Structures are given as structure tokens and as C-alpha cells.
Structure 1
Amino acid sequence: MTGSAALFTDRYELTMVDAALRDGTGHRESLFEAFARRLPDGRRYGVVAGTGRLLELIDRFRFEDAELEWLREHEVVQPSTLDWLADYRFRGDIWGYREGEAYFPGSPLLTIRATFAEAVMLETLVLSTLNYDSSVASAAARMVSVALGRPIAEMGSRRTSEHAAVAAARAAYIAGFDATSNLEAGRTWGIPTMGTAAHAFTLLHDTEERAFRSQVEALGPSTTLLVDTYDIAQGVELAVKVAGTGLGAVRIDSGDLPTVVAAVREQLDSLGAVDTKITVTSDLDEYTIAGLSAAPADSYGVGTSVVTGSGSPAAGMVYKLVARRDDSGEWIAVAKASKSKLSIGGRKNAARRLDSTRTAREEIVYIGDGPEGEAEFEPGSRLRPLMVQLMADGVADPAFLGAAGTRAARAHRAEVMQELPIEAFRLGRGEAVIPTTYR
């Protein structure tokens, strides 16, 4: 994706900058932190996603002539601030949890050090990216855990906006989905793509058999034939008749799925198509996938529930100023005092305590005044450091970017899931599977 991302923000970010530059405080070095006070209801862990996208968006956060002219025309800020914005590019430092990492309430997912004016403008961009992508990834991870190794494809582009569709496909892939139907996600992020035909293709033809023959002639017998347009049993029989016993798969998109899948498996075997797979779609979520665990389904396709976070479309993250330099140059911790929206001031560092079986038992957040004096983890303490530097002097670490960064995040997520206690994967309502402790 190209073009400026500078107006992917809220007006009050710029009006704060305008006032702070005028009174001189806009140049104070500051620390902002993104974190979630709690997990969505019933979730026992979250999965960080969106970091790679965010780093690329920050690099594109530049005010070009078109953006400056619009701000001038609408008198959003004063002329001197427009001059400052014309030269703006983020030059600060960013630390955070690796993409694909598990997180818990209070986890310091992202820390940004820059001047107040540089950093505050990123609030909306940070939250819109991390809140959505992490919500999708957290829901997708639950689906992957109950799929018990069966492949899952993301196919929810028609259930969200065009830009969110690409982000959702990427987040689901990081969380363990195997492919997406979205071609832009394939092009931009290197995600495997899949897809064959919808019911409209069958309805286009005079008979179901003619539709199947057309598809097999175009894509070969290893294709997946959609067999529930009319009668499923008849569709399966025709599919094997047309493609032969080497048919790749049949797709079922309706009906009482556990019963239908069992019947289709029996029918395929009786026809000699013992290697033909069964893929199931039809408004699946983690609960329906879990309900199919005993059925002979081979793979799943998920749409609406994954791109909407399966009931939690935002992860509830916030972006707060936690420390700044005073007039003497000393770092001081700052925090909002509201008891109902608790924030803890100071620079954070974090580690996860593992037991002798390398199972996570505690999220430890270390608190300091500023960026110096990060916690040194005791040797032999079984603490796994969680924070890495993502950007230095405005330049992102290339290891976290592009298709390669997406694959790395997917691999990291798979490793992290091995650390979580078995209770993390229960679908019933519950609290975070490990506690967060502040030191």
C-alpha cells in the first residue's frame, strides 16, 4: 500500500500538537504506551497482531501537499504548525512485544519514545491497527486451537471493509490460519490464497453436472466441488462421477453439519473416493468448529466470525502518556488518576515466568521512571524477556516488515502457544490464564 497515512488520525491529535508547539511543551521528550486494561469477556489470552503493518504505516505518516492544503483550507491548525507538519517524520524509538506474542491485561505491548508532538499524533494509527488486528488474531487463535491441526482458511472479505479484509487475512494467518481467499492479502503479505467456486457458478449452468464438468475441465480433478446447491447426496454422487475417485475435495456450506459431514464421508468412501477431503464452511466460529471435532471434516473455511473478532471487534487497547521529562531534564512518571480506568505511570519492561516444564505461570511488568535502567533478568530465573526494539531513530527493524515479517510472526505465535497452560484453550468464560504482576 502506498500514499500518505497522515490523515488516518483524529482531529484532536493535531489540535493538541498545535497548542503544545505554541506553549513549548510539544518538544518535551515523552513516553507513550499501548496496553489493554483487560481482555475481551471470556478470553484467557490475547495475540498481538498488526505490528508489522503499523511500522509501515508510521513510515508513511507524512504530510504531503494534498494533506497540508486540506488542513489549511479547513483551518485545523495555525500556519506555523502547518510548517512543522510539512517537515514531520517520526524520528523516535519504539519497543514492544513481538508480533504473534501472547498478551494479558497490563502487558506493555508498545512503548514509543519521542517528543510529545511526534508521538501523540500516532495514537489513532496505533490503536486502530493494533485493536483490530489483535482482535482478529485472538479470535483466530481460538479457532486454530479447537481445529486440532485441521487446516483453516480465512474467507471473510465480504463481511468487512476492503482495507480491513486485507488486515484480517494477515492477522488470521499470523494466528495459524493456513490460507485466505483475499488476493490483495496474498500479494501484499505473501499469504497463500485459495478458492474455487460459489453457488452462483452452479446456478449459472443448466445442470449441476454441467457446472461440475466445467470446473473440473478448468481446474482439474484435484479441485473442490461445492455439493450443497440442491441436494447434497446427489451432489456428491455427481461430483465423483464427473471428477472420478481422485476428486480433491467437496465443500459443504449448509445443513446440520456434524450429521451431514458424517453422511458425506460414508458416501464418498462407498463410491471409492476414500482420499477425497471434506471442507466445511457455513458461518463457522470457534464453537461450531469445536462441535465438529468428532466429525470427519478435513478442513474449514471461516468468514464473518473471524473478521469481526468473534464477538469482540476491538481488543480494548489504549494509548497513554506514562512518562515525560520535566524542565530540568529529569524523567517523571505520569498517569491518569481515574480508578475506573487505571493507568500506571513509568517506563515498563516485561518478562514471562516459565516453570520447569516451560509453561507460562506469570506475566511480570517492571516499572521505572524513564527509558534508562531497564530490568536485568536474573540468570536461571526462567524469565523470557518479552520486549524488543521495533524502531530506532524512526527506522523500523526490517525483520518485522513485509511478507518475511508476517511469516516470522506466524512462527513466533506457534512457539508461544506451546508455553500457555492447557486452561488457556478452554472456550468457556474465564479470566486471564496467568496473572500480571507489577514490580
Structure 2
Amino acid sequence: MHAWPASEVPALPGKGRDLQIHDSATQGTITLDPGPVARIYVCGITPYDATHIGHVATYNAFDLVQRVWLDNKRQVHYVQNVTDVDDPLLERALRDGQDWTELAERETALFREDMTALRMLPPRHYIGAVEAIPGIVPLVERLREAGAAYELDGDIYFSVESDPHFGQVSHLDAEAMRLLSAERGGDPERPGKKNPLDPMLWMAARPGEPSWDGGSLGRGRPGWHIECVAIALDHLGMGFDIQGGGSDLAFPHHEMGASHAQALTGEFPMAKAYVHAGMVALGGEKMSKSKGNLVFVSALRRAGVDPAAIRLALLAHHYRADWEWTDEVLAEAVARLERWRAAVSRPDGIPADTLVEEVREALADDLDAPAALAAVDRWVELQIAASGDDESAPGLVSRTVDALLGVAL
């Protein structure tokens, strides 16, 4: 599966700072020192509907991570999956009378278009669950052989008790885990499981549903968590720098994935940092496909909204914060974009060397994008109110905003 084209990232004078970021596992801020090549895995979409603002808020956060690392003169090895076979996708296809593969391909293509328009840097490897199946099957077989998995009526489950570190990503108690498991794709009430929280690794073929040859596992399809583990281990290995996604993935998805990988390799941790973006609400409720309260990026683009304004609307909120999308949020972003473009359109201006360092410092401090925007706002206000004679300043500001915030002026 191919990703989307990359926009050029301008080079800035000097060098950025090491990234300090909040780690869900340690419940504190840590400083990441990835070495020459930074490794990041961000969980992708299940393509049964168009890209909404909640999606892009998450991907915007990890786009900032990449930009900080690139500014720090590192290479970035970024991997993202597409869950192109799963119950929600099959249910939507059945509801709408569509072929599930055509639905997945159409919505994945639309996602690529949205990411391109928003200037999100693409992953080096963009892998679908279906194409990952040949690598998933051996992992499930290894877990079963090691006694970390068991069969129940043809389905293969992972035993969470096989990983002594289980629970150290989300830090939830058993009852909270049980409730979230039921809400987010698990089956804690199924009789016969060793532990109600045990997640499925391999689902035996069901009538009328797609299935693949699983070797000794029989025909079936993979569970959600093992999909990401197989892709991450194949392309990044253990101990990669960031496992990223929305805060709703901390449990069960990232918790289970970490345990799968740790049981497979005997190494800990799977990732040096587990980084989670906040949720975006609409009308007082979390924006989600199940609720249907969605603002689609493609719809905003069709309505003539500049993608740069959409990015500024996202950047106005700290990535870990829960916030609400409103018409006012978008209007403020549109007005900010107009002010910034007017300021950099002048032939000369106020010196901007200090601004570059202020934006770098803000982003290195747990991706504080609102502080970065405030720094640019201050330069813009001075630029509009006073005259300057630095001919390089407008161009430097434009390159800084592009390179570090992904906004083309």
C-alpha cells in the first residue's frame, strides 16, 4: 500500500532541541534522544468513513513530532497502518450494500487526499492489515507455542497474564479495563476465556465474512492489536521511540499491543514513550463515527476552507487537551491565517531570529503548539504595527511556520 506525497520541509538555520514529551506509561514528561534515526509508529484509520477533525487532530500531533526531529537534523522512520479489515468496516459495507474492499479502498484514497492537502508528512511504510497477514500468522503461532495464547472454539486468544508488565501503559484497574474492553471491540463476557480481558489474536472464519489461510491456525482473520504489533516489529523492531495515537487507544489497543510484543520478544518496553492525543468534541460529545457527530476534512475543503486554516485550528489547542470544534474555532483560524499572510507579504520586516528559537522551544516542550502560535502572533503584531528593514525576515518567518508547523504561507 502506498502513502501520500511528501511536501518539502524547508531547512532552518541552526538546530532544534531534543523533544520532551508526555509518556502515558510513566505518567510524566520524558526527554527523547533517538539517535540519528528516530522511530515512530502511529495507529492508522479503519477506512469505513471519511477523515474527520478528530482524526486529523491526532495526526497533526505526530506530524509535529516528525518536524521537531527533522529540525534536529535526524532522519525519521515513521510507520502507519490501515485496518482495512475489521468488524466496523464489514458492518458498514453490509449496511450500505457495498463490497468491503471497495469501501476500504475508496476511503483510504480520500484519507490520502486529506493528508496531502493538510501537508501531513507521510509514513515511510504505510501497511494494510490484509497485506500484513503473512507476518501476523507466525507471531500468533509463536505466542501459542510459548503458552501465551490459547484456543477457544477455533478462535485464538492472548493471555494477558503471560506479560508481567500488563497494565503499565494505561494504569487502569481491572473494572475500568473490563468496561472499556466491552466498549472498544473486546468480548469480556465471552464464556470460556481464561481472563475476561484476554483479546483475540485470530478469529476463525465466519460464514459470509472474509478469511485467509492461517496455516496451523486455520482459516480466519487477525485481531486488531496483533496487526499493529506485526507491522511495528517488522519495520521498527522493539524499543522504538514513540507509539502514538488518540487517547482512546491507550486501552485496550496500546496496552494489548505492548503485551503482545513483550511476550513475543521477552523485551521491555515495546516503545520508549506512549503518546496520546486528546479527543475532539462536537455539540458537547466526543466526535466519533459511532455517534455520527463528525466534521469531515473533505467537506470543509469542498466548502472552500483553506487547509492551512484547518491546521491552524488544530494547532490552537494543545495536542493532549480535549476540546470542541465550533464555527468560532475555524473563524479564528481563518483570521489568523489572513494576518500571518499579510505580515509576511511585506518586502522587509522585523528581525525574526528570536522567533525561530521561540517556536523551537515551544514545540520541544511537549509539542506546545499554542505557545508557538502565540510567538508568531507577537511577531506579526510588531510587523504590522512598525516598520522594519530586515529583508530576510518575512521569508524566514514563512519557512519557520512551514518547517515546524506545517502551514504554508
Alignment TM-score, normalising by the size of structure 2:
0.23
- Relative to its length, the structure with more strand (as a share) is 1
Could you say which structure has the larger radius of gyration? 1
Question: Taking structure 1 as the reference length, what is the TM-score of the superposition?
Answer: 0.22
More helix by share: 2
